[in-house]
Every structure is written in C-alpha cells, then in structure tokens.
Amino acid sequence: MVFDIIKNRRSIFPWQYIDKPIKKNDLDKILEAANWAPTHKKTEPWRFKIMQGNSKKKLGTFLSEKYQEIEKRPKQIKIDKLYNNPTRSAVVMAICMQRDLDESVPEWEEIAAVAMAVQNMWLCCTDLGIGCYWSSPKLIKYMDEFFDFAKGEKCLGFLYMGYFEGEIPEGTRKPITDKVVWLD
C-alpha cells in the first residue's frame, strides 16, 4: 500500500550499504518513477547524472579535494566521508535541475518539481528494498567543474543508493494536528 511505503521511507546512509549492485532494470524503474513527478507547464526540469564504477571514485576524489581547497580548516572526518561515500554506494545520482530557459515558471517551482521527482524515486527505492540518502553539500555549487552542464542546468545534490541489511529504523513525527489550522 502506498501509505505504508510513505511511512517507511527513511534515509539510509552510505556507511550502511552492502556490496551489492543495483540491477539496470531496477534503476530504469526508479528513473521512470521520477519522470512521473508533477511539473508546472510540463517543463520536466529533473535531470540525473548516474555514476557507477570508476566515476564514483572520481566524484569522491573531486569532492574531498574541493573541500580541502575551499575550507580554511578542513576536518579529516569530513574529507574521509566525502571521499568514501560515493564508493560505498552502489549508485550515486547527481540530482540536477534544468531551468526553463524562457523562465515561464518561477525557479522555486522547478526546484519543487525536482524534489517531487526525487521523492518518487525514494519511494520506489523503499518498495524495492534499496536504501538511499539525498545529500546537498555546499560543494554542489562547484559541480560545474566536474560535470558538463547544459545552459541553465545546475546540481541540487546527490542521491546515494545501495542495498542494506537489517531493519528500517522506526520513524517518528509530531502529530499532524500540531501543524494544521482548520478554517471555516
């Protein structure tokens, strides 16, 4: 049931992943789920750059080196995390937005559409038993040094993906009644 999948969706982090590849047909299904996200004026702004194999190591090297270059006092734990997270993952997707060049809709709507596409992928991953985690480090503003972007395209983060063992952690939320005002 969809409601159960929504309630069971969790961030599963790269350090929790096991060494098991994600099948191409499952990746295709996950991407197709993204493609059905709502989009104002049908701009379909979501773009994904999928990294497997050696490209994950290149990403980790780039992120850790860029962090050391821009940070006044880089922390070794952060350097290691940036370097290792991509290679611990079965797949890393760069989450990108292709801005409507005519700017026919506000940018926030394009970002929201991309976020809905990611949510669709995340729910699909949950259904397939694949863990994932959306990371948006401040380093994303430098990703034009790593990727070739189309005009108006930019990176919004990374979706780290991988299989994991064990139970999905229990989720908690404050009551929805604390967040709703009913008006007559």
Residues 101-135: pLDDT tens digits? 899 999 999 999 999 999 999 999 999 999 999 99
Confidence grade of residue 11 (pLDDT, cut at 50, 70, 90): very high
What pLDDT score was predicted for residue 6?
A: 87
- Give one DSSP letter per residue of the chain, joined into a string: -HHHHHHH--B--GGGB-S-PPPHHHHHHHHHHHHTS--GGG---EEEEEE-THHHHHHHHHHHHHHHHH-SS--HHHHHHHHHHHHHSSEEEEEEEE--TT--S-HHHHHHHHHHHHHHHHHHHHHHTEEEEEE--GGGGGGGGTS-PPTTEEEEEEEEEEEB-SPPPPP----GGGG-----
What pLDDT, on a 0 to 100 scale, did the predictor assign at position 169?
78
pLDDT per position as a tens digit, 13-24:
999 999 999 999
**Which pLDDT does position 168 carry in this prediction?**
79
Architecture of domain 2-179: 3-Layer(aba) Sandwich (3.40)
pLDDT at residue 176, rounded to an integer? 94
Dump pLDDT digits (tens) for 21-56: 999 999 999 999 999 999 999 999 999 999 999 999
Express each pLDDT in 129-182 by its tens digit: 999 999 999 999 999 999 999 999 999 999 999 999 988 778 899 999 999 999
Judge whether residue 5 has pLDDT over 90.
no
